[in-house]
Structure 1
Amino acid sequence: MATHLPWDLPCVFIMLLCYCTESTKNATIHKNETTTLGETVTLKCNRSEYVAVVEWRREKLLFFYSYFRNKTNVNNLTSERRTVDPVDPVELKIHRVQLTDMGNYICTTTSRRGVHTTVWSLTIIDADDESKGRYSLQDHLFYIIRWSIGVVLCISIFYMVCLCRKNKQDQSP
């Protein structure tokens, strides 16, 4: 007599297999953020469900929060300008942005569906440098008038030299 396996055991095995393959999915999203020097910028991870772990990195680990333990395990935010709200650690705020804050910020969230990574490329524009490269209408007029006067003076000197030479040639016998 052959023993048959109950159907609930293979069903549980198939469900576990599906759950494990679904939980190993990794998704990476790349985003660009541009801000002006001195402004406040908020970088936010994408999350559509319950998140177990949140991790922020920039070259090294900045912040690590575990919802399981309901506490921050690592907080290397050495600057008071960078903050992560413990209530909502998927948001990283950088206050009074400086040029040294430019670069890539990586937020990794772990949930039962897998690991989701958001890579933020932060670009900072110095408004003072941009305004230095632009000229106003008054600057353009001053430039044109100055060059026009220079050209008129050069032409006048050239004609005066030519007239003097002509007069000398006319006076010589």
Structure 2
Amino acid sequence: MEVFQTRILHLSLCVIITLLTYADNSRSSSEQKIKQHINKTVFVGETVTLHCNRTPADEDITWKMNNSIIFIQSPYLNRTTTNFTSERMYIDPEVSRELKISQIQMSDAGNYSCYPAAIRWILTITITITDQNRQDNQFPRIMIITACTGVIIMCLTIILSIWIHRTWKNKTSGHRETGLDFSQAPTRGRIQAQNSQYFERYNSVYGQVTEYDHL
């Protein structure tokens, strides 16, 4: 039983590899023979639906973006594989001929192809006038904000410099006044001491004379 299951598994893998190889070859040949080119321009934020026409050989459906497979459905293998580049891309397996892209962004621009119908869309994304004006207005706003910030910093620098200068000037003036008082104090003390010595010598010679009587 295990040998039988192993053989079935190997056979299935061989069939899948063969089908994938055949599909790649058929896609390469069909890709070189695109039957219809469609130029499509949409605005950012729109929802786009790409319709792939039905063909007589409409067994396997394949969608590609810029030559990379993003969706493949094989009814024979009863298998569906997706490799979308964005969560905004969607294909309903029941309606595999329609590729929907919601909220279109600039990164969604490129070439979209479907097989076997061999249709290619050249999708171009553009921004609306409002978005363009918004982007154009961003630069002047940045310049205005930068200029205002520079003016504010310059004013604060000037105010701080004036405050520091006045503080330093007041401290210097205070030290000078204090220095004059201290310089005069010793002088007055020496004069009083000399007067006292003079009166002492005078009293010793002429008698007790007070400073008041002398004055």
TM-score where L is the length of structure 2: 0.43
Deviations 1:28-52 (A, max 9, x none): 2111222110010001111144610
| Counterpart position of 1:86 | 93
| Corresponding residue to 1:64 among 53, 58, 72 | 72
The higher radius of gyration belongs to: 2
Matched residue type, 1:86: P
| Counterpart position of 2:124 | 123
**Cα pair 2:52 2:119 within 8 Å, conserved:** yes
* Secondary structure in 2 matching 1:80: coil
Q: Percent identity?
A: 37
Higher helix proportion: 2
Q: Distance in 2 between matches of 1:128 and 1:98?
A: 15
Displacement, 1:121? Answer: 0.6
Higher strand proportion: 1
Q: Select the structure with the greater relative contact order (CA < 8 A; seq sep ≥ 6).
A: 1
* Secondary structure in 1 matching 2:35: strand
**Cα pair 1:84 1:92 within 8 Å, conserved:** yes
Q: Distance in 2 between matches of 1:63 and 1:124?
A: 22
* Residues 1-173 of structure 1 aligned to structure 2 (within 5 Å): 28-49=35-56, 51-59=58-66, 60-72=68-80, 74-109=81-116, 116-128=117-129, 132=133
Stretches of structure 1 lacking an aligned partner (at least 5 in a row): 1-23, 110-115, 134-173
The root-mean-square deviation of aligned C-alpha atoms, in Å, is: 2.4
Stretches of structure 2 lacking an aligned partner (at least 5 in a row): 1-28, 135-215
Matched residue type, 2:41: T
TM-score where L is the length of structure 1: 0.53
Displacement, 1:130? Answer: 7.3
Q: Distance in 1 between matches of 2:86 and 2:56?
A: 30
